[in-house]
Amino acid sequence: MTAAISTLRATIAASLVDNALWSVFSFPPATPIANSIVVSPADPYVTPNNNSYNTIAPTANFNLNGIEEMLVAMFNKLSASSIVYNVGDVSAPSVLNAASGDLLTCSMQVSVLTSWS
């Protein structure tokens, strides 16, 4: 399934919902909280990709910020979704100094084949 680039953040966030384990944000919250997943643009954010077809579709790249023990559950949620994605490297955990306190975070690169509308 390809999702429109205009609704892609919400589509990814919806596929990762697990209220018993974490909170999911389709945009970075003003104040990050523990046990949360944040869908945020990566760099590059959009890459045109023809995916071996005659038309060009955009590939959108996101960073999903979370904690180590959530990674397996996140992979399972993504694999159960109908999103066409490719997962890249996962960064080493690091400490984020936020207004709400220090949070242990890591980033998981996810590329999603999407559509223009």
pLDDT digits (tens, 9 = 90+) for 69-105: 677 788 889 889 888 888 888 887 788 888 888 888 8
Say yes or no to pLDDT of 23 above 90: yes
Q: Which of 1-10, 19-28, 78-87 has the lowest mean pLDDT?
A: 1-10
**What is the helix (H) or strand (E) element at residue 77, kind and residue range?**
helix 68-80
Residues 12-28, mean pLDDT to the nearest whole number? 92
Torsion angle (degrees, nearest 10) of CA 69, 41, 27, 66: 10
pLDDT computed for residue 20 by the predictor: 92
pTM of the model: 0.70
pLDDT computed for residue 25 by the predictor: 94
